[in-house]
Amino acid sequence: MTDIVFITDVHGKYEVIPKIFEEEEPDYVLIGGDLTDFGPLDGVIPALEEIPAPTFVVPGNCDPKEIVQVIEASDAISLHKKSIDLGNITITGLGGSNTTPFNTLFEMSEEEIAAALSEVLARTKKNRWNLLVTHAPPQGALDGIGEDGSVHVGSASVAAVVREFDIVCCGHIHEQKGITEFERRICVNPGPASAGNYAVITLSDEDEPVIELRNILELAEEE
């Protein structure tokens, strides 16, 4: 059995990170981007060094592109455009987002996203569990904005490869915290870590995955 903590959208609120790991003792940690809020980068390495488990990170659209080099200089591993095997689990990552109206720091065209995913998938082997970690959600899942959530702003190129994976871990759209089924696969957005949110994903060889959405601030109040 393997426990994974997934956090995303920290937005510079690094003080939340050690609080999570006062409560959780995972085997691995996945971070889905937006560690910073349009920079600066000087807090990234100290924040990652607070995490007491192997950590794999993709950047978000609010992170400067230079964050990839900063992550690589830390104890964490950059998962951007990479696929890594962890026993019976393979994790594949792509950071940044599809284009937005706001011209944020780390955006790519759908063609660039499709090309990057195609390239990394060509190097990815199938495993018992296959996880995709992206900042942007797939178009049509956990990506609705507007008063009724009817405007879908996720990536069509991410949506096109969802069936290659068992679980898609994403963020980006803060108000779309949740777990949903899309293309017969599981998509999870734990909500922004800046507000204490995270997910715990438990995987075993035989059973279906167990995914729980938690909030460290609410847990602290209960205690």
- Residue pair 119/78 in contact (Cβ under 8 Å)? The answer is no
pLDDT of residue 221: 73
**Whether domain 2-222 has CATH 2.60.40.10:** no
- Confidence label for 219 from pLDDT (cuts 50, 70 and 90): confident
The domain limits of the chain are 2-222
Q: What is the pLDDT of residues 15-74, one digit of tens each?
A: 999 999 999 999 999 999 999 999 999 999 999 999 999 999 999 999 999 999 999 999
pLDDT of residue 148: 86
Mean pLDDT of 201-208: 92
Q: What is the pTM of this model?
A: 0.97
Mean pLDDT of 76-97: 98
Mean pLDDT for the chain overall: 96
Mean pLDDT of 96-114: 97
Does the pLDDT value for residue 79 go beyond 80? yes
pLDDT of residue 223: 63
Does the pLDDT value for residue 149 go beyond 70? yes
